[in-house]
Structure 1
Amino acid sequence: MCNQFTLTFKATEQILLREALASWGISKRSLTSIKFDGGTLLVNGQVKTVRHPLAIGDVVTVLFPLEEVSEGLIRQKGPLDIVYEDDVLFIVNKQPGQSTIPSREHPSGTLANFVAYYYEQMSIPSTVHILTRLDKDTSGLVCLVKNRHIHHIMSHNHVMNKTYEAIVHGKVSDDCQEIIAPIGRKSSSIIEREVREDGHFAHTDVDVIRHHANFSHVKCLLHTGRTHQIRVHLAHIGHPIVGDDLYGGSVAQISRQALHCASVDIKHPLTGKMLTFTSPMPEDMKNLLS
């Protein structure tokens, strides 16, 4: 029981336990899992069902079931650049060239494989919950959480800002601009996206950090999270990312898109405190600017 993820609440009104749990963000799916998969609901230290009536001041303890690593996810020892870790958050810095999650073609060597091994070694009773993913060739910060319930509440009601740095072709004329252009899958490809009228709403802010001889070093703030959003939007305004040959960038000087998740501002799901994490630009992108 000591390894179970636990949350504690105090009742502020006379209400059924079921209704109180809903007001505290415990989903019906979580309650079903608690009931059938080894979780427990305690009121003042005593096991109770969701039908129990609470009195003001009652202390409710929710013990969530132990989680099992997803089937097919290979636990694999590998390097992890851990930026931050607590009982619920796990922030790492991903290197370029590494996939975030396994695929049929690449079932091992991914960030998720390494995290699963780390969790096992540290006796963390969770499968791998990735809150923010990065493309294989994009470097920088990836946010994970250590519990299914926390993943649920952060996926549906989280406060987060992600800032990327990119090196693009040409001189971006506007030092600050807002790109609002819908993105959808290109009809001739299962991978490539494009700006199209029937696409999903997408919003990116772009600020120029510095102009170089043939490049612009820009900062991008995401307001939405569409697939390939920054890559598509920058190509759309005529400044594809250097190295991004899928969207018109040249690979003559770098073999991957020069895109890096440099900072994340995130509201902690339990404390409500805003946290900021940063990641330095990798060497291959620095070399482009030197």
Structure 2
Amino acid sequence: MNKSFELEYNEPKKSRLDAYLNTELDDMTRSQIQKLIKEKYILVNGESVAKTGIKIVSGDKITVNIPEEEPIKAVPEDIPIEVVYEDKDVLVVNKPQGMVVHPAAGHPDKTLVNAILYHCQINDDDVIRPGIVHRIDKDTSGLLMIAKNNLAKQSLMKQLKEKSNLREYLAIVHGNFKEKNGRINAPLGRSKFDRKKQAVVEDGRHAVTHFEVLEQFENYSLLKLKLETGRTHQIRVHMQYIGHPVAGDPLYGPKNTLKGQGQFLHAETLGFEHPRTHEWMQFSIEPPKIFQETLKQLRSKQ
């Protein structure tokens, strides 16, 4: 069943229809709103409109019809993945840059989950995120642990909650440092100015990132970062917050940055207690080729 409601525009100045709806519909992106307008789900004074940039004036009544979304379900797809470790309980993979972890609106397939379901059996009732206990962003590369059954999922999620596992990243960031290491303790939540972004906000969730400066170049630095908590975009937002955004970051970094395939951020090391044997497991993986080549170029300019 479609969701439908009506809004009335009461501002003295004219406004673009899509811009106005972007401020009113908190759970939708501007591109999703524009898609609704183009598909004639939005009416102005009872009539459908063809253009997203149409101007509305005070007194206009806007009817918003939101069609029911088809349920998303992850299905196996024959997509190559790099398996670092596997047994009957856990799977550790090296996720490449450009791959989304699990299906969602806008990314219904070709995700890491689709690849994993083809590779092996995951016994999990979650049809969208089977086996997923933590995530890394689409353009962040590196190690992820996957639970193959409920025993493993409960154990790995408990370790994440208790902060007893190990997650270390490599990042190339803007600028140089006077200190050799540091701790960033700043709460994170949704940005009040851009819903696609996270930000340091007073009433946000507790978030702590530790960093160590490994190398410094002209205008850039190589860091090792350790997550104490695992909030959405945590490293990217924390580094922006202290004035050292991750190089190549299209969301939180400057436009004048290193050329790559998104942010230069790599989940290098992963450690956890095995859910069944209780043995400590630890894995490390080199960053992708573009990351290594960029480091060589920065070193050559020293």
Instruction: Calculate the TM-score normalised by the size of structure 1.
Output: 0.71
Taking only aligned residues, the RMSD between alpha carbons, in angstroms, comes to 1.6
1:164 to 2:166 alignment:
no
CA apart distance, 1:125: 5.4
CA apart distance, 1:252: 4.7
What is the CA deviation profile of residues 233-267 of structure 1, one whole-angstrom value per residue up to 9, with x for unaligned ones? 11111000001121124455223000000001111
Q: Which sections of structure 1, spanning at least 5 residues, go unmatched?
A: 1-69
| Counterpart-to-counterpart distance in 2, 1:279 and 1:135 | 17
Please say if residues 131 and 144 of structure 1, whose CA atoms lie closer than 8 Å, have aligned partners that are also in contact: yes
What is the CA deviation profile of residues 203-225 of structure 1, one whole-angstrom value per residue up to 9, with x for unaligned ones? 11000010012210000000001
1:266 to 2:272 alignment:
yes
1:247 to 2:252 alignment:
yes
Aligned twin of 1:140: 142
| Counterpart-to-counterpart distance in 2, 1:193 and 1:275 | 32
Q: Which sections of structure 2, spanning at least 5 residues, go unmatched?
A: 1-70, 125-129, 297-302
| Counterpart-to-counterpart distance in 1, 2:147 and 2:165 | 14
Matches within 5 A, 1:70-219: 72-119=73-120, 124=121, 126-127=123-124, 128-157=130-159, 159-219=164-224
Please say if residues 139 and 261 of structure 2, whose CA atoms lie closer than 8 Å, have aligned partners that are also in contact: no
Secondary structure at 1:149's aligned position in 2? helix
The total of aligned residue pairs comes to 217
| Counterpart-to-counterpart distance in 1, 2:188 and 2:245 | 16
CA apart distance, 1:107: 1.2
After the TM superposition, list the runs of 4 or more consecutive aligned residues in structure 1 that deviate by more than 6 angstroms: none
Write the letter of the residue equivalent to 1:187.
K
Aligned twin of 1:47: none
Q: 1:285 aligns with which of 287, 291, 299?
A: 291
What is the CA deviation profile of residues 46-86 of structure 1, one whole-angstrom value per residue up to 9, with x for unaligned ones? xxxxxxxxxxxxxxxxxxxxxxxx97212100111000001
Aligned twin of 2:33: none
Write the letter of the residue equivalent to 1:222.
L
Matches within 5 A, 1:11-22: none
Instruction: Calculate the TM-score normalised by the size of structure 2.
Output: 0.69
Write the letter of the residue equivalent to 1:108.
D
| Counterpart-to-counterpart distance in 1, 2:132 and 2:231 | 16
Aligned twin of 2:26: none
Write the letter of the residue equivalent to 1:126.
N
Please say if residues 161 and 266 of structure 1, whose CA atoms lie closer than 8 Å, have aligned partners that are also in contact: yes
State percent identity of aligned pairs: 35
| Counterpart-to-counterpart distance in 2, 1:89 and 1:164 | 21
Write the letter of the residue equivalent to 1:155.
M
